[in-house]
Structure 1
């Protein structure tokens, strides 16, 4: 199994970062290459929730169904594939000083197909490395912008109206 790890720093408090990344509706905004991501079943987040996903990595498009196997509010979320491309994804959240937070992301994957799958993994590694870098930048950007909008909206709500 190949693995990629990256860290994103967000100009947002821990609870805001966790809530944003825990919401499946936001995945397409930050996960580079993800073209579809939707819940299947009754749960749409938390332990046991399942999602169908499609991700485009270079010349390859991979589909899988993943299941949430760990959910600790404001601390950790982990997923494992139950069909399609074999994968594990873990988000570890940390609070930083000054209303900031950090997310460490670990993605492990292996493609089906024995020797051919392993060869394709090697071909995709540069695309996956670029996707990880872009995903880290996206997480920092979209979570920080989301929090800035929340702060601005709260400030406008407190402003006197003419």
Structure 2
């Protein structure tokens, strides 16, 4: 499973950055390609929350059901797919000396095997790095506007 690691600094306190990333309603505002991100069931954040996600990459729409598999308030959260497009994204949050937040993300993904998986990989892989950079800059801009 390929993994992309990225880090950035936002000029907001860690608790505010975490709360924003943890709020499912904000995800389509900052995450590249996300068309919808909705809770499934009664839990809408925290450990074991489950979400239905739809992402548009080029002409392809990818769907996934994601579960929060790790959640430590103001420190880290991990979303792991349980159905659909296979991904794991781990977010961690650290204080910076000037009162800001260092955001670290590890994004892993896997395409299905066979011809369909290779075709999807050929479509998606060239834009993954760009998507991570776009997500990071949009997230920093959204956090600064809070």
TM-score, normalisation: structure 1 = 0.85
* Count of aligned pairs: 146
Alignment of 1:85-104 (within 5 A): 85-104=85-104
Higher mean alpha-carbon deviation, 4-13 vs 28-37, is at: 4-13
Higher mean alpha-carbon deviation, 121-130 vs 57-66, is at: 121-130
- Alpha-carbon deviations, 1:106-146, whole Å to 9, x = none? 11111224343034213311211111110010111101111
- 1:64 counterpart = 2:69: no
The structure with the largest helix share of the pair is: 1
- Find the counterpart in structure 1 of residue 43 from structure 2: 43
Counterpart contact for 1:76–1:92, Cα < 8 Å: yes
- Please tell me whether Structure 1 or Structure 2 has the larger radius of gyration of its CA atoms: 1
Counterpart contact for 1:64–1:83, Cα < 8 Å: yes
Please give the secondary structure, in 2, of the residue aligned with 1:109. strand
Please give the secondary structure, in 2, of the residue aligned with 1:32. coil
- Find the counterpart in structure 2 of residue 121 from structure 1: 121
CA distance in 2, matches of 1:29, 1:83: 23
Please give the secondary structure, in 1, of the residue aligned with 2:36. strand
Please give the secondary structure, in 1, of the residue aligned with 2:17. helix
CA distance in 1, matches of 2:33, 2:80: 18
**RMSD of the alignment, in Å?**
1.3
Please give the secondary structure, in 1, of the residue aligned with 2:145. helix
1:102 shift after superposition: 1.1
Counterpart contact for 1:9–1:103, Cα < 8 Å: yes
- Find the counterpart in structure 2 of residue 32 from structure 1: 32
Counterpart contact for 1:13–1:100, Cα < 8 Å: yes
1:83 shift after superposition: 0.5
- Find the counterpart in structure 1 of residue 135 from structure 2: 135
CA distance in 1, matches of 2:30, 2:13: 18
CA distance in 2, matches of 1:54, 1:119: 19
TM-score, normalisation: structure 2 = 0.94
